[in-house]
Amino acid sequence: MTLCDRVLEWLPYSEPFLFVDGFDHIDENGASGHYTFRHDQSFYQGHFPGNPVTPGVILIETMAQIGLVGLGMYLELLRRTGRSEPKKSESLPSTDNSVDGSGGVDYSESVRELPSLSQAPGLAFTESEVAFLHPVLPGQTVFVRSEKIYFRLGKLKCRVEMFLREGSKNTVRVCKGRMSGMILPPPPTNDFPSKEGSTSTEQGTSTEEGLSTEQDRSTES
């Protein structure tokens, strides 16, 4: 399993709201990935009838899932576990490189040591400022690339761009902007009984003790 495969497993989304087919690269500086919009996706029915165009909010969500959430979960796991980045980390691929999903590096032992989905941290998408430059139509594949601006105190801010591939080298930029997110705190644990539970137990014990005392008195009489 590659590192990109593991990060894809961590994403807290599922169909029909998962807009990531795969990550092509991820390291401490950024992430890249791709997604193909299908002709049968429901939002095309109303946006627009007879002239389907991918809604801008869906493009923003796709950018966030690939360029912000996946990267943020990876960075937070490195921080929590005290691990350094795997040694085979490479720089982000240029738009001329292959982004067909085969670009994930197999980190072997490093990947197997990373936590499973149940232990993966959450990240909330908090802010975006995006400029739209080109429409995306049904059936087209978009590529997203992000660059970390900062990650500190549980807050991540990135530069993110989306583009289309036309031919082997020509690319068309779809949108670009900045996005921010915040790491969610881990869920609370129930290591101790609730106050109500303790009270009920104590009351039950007191009642039992009272009955025992009364029975003893009756016997003595």
Give me the active site residues, please. Answer: 47
Assess contact for 6 and 114: CB atoms under 8 A: yes
**DSSP label at residue 14:** -
Report residue 214 as tokens: 């009364």
Report residue 154 as tokens: 């549980």
Assess contact for 69 and 123: CB atoms under 8 A: yes
Q: How far apart are CA 73 and CA 7, in angstroms?
A: 8
Token pair 């014990």 in the structure block, residue: 205
**DSSP label at residue 65:** I
Q: How far apart are CA 124 and CA 120, in angstroms?
A: 13
User: Is 82 exposed, middle or buried (CB count within 10 Å of its CB: 0-12, 13-18, 19+)?
Assistant: exposed
Q: How far apart are CA 210 and CA 60, in angstroms?
A: 66
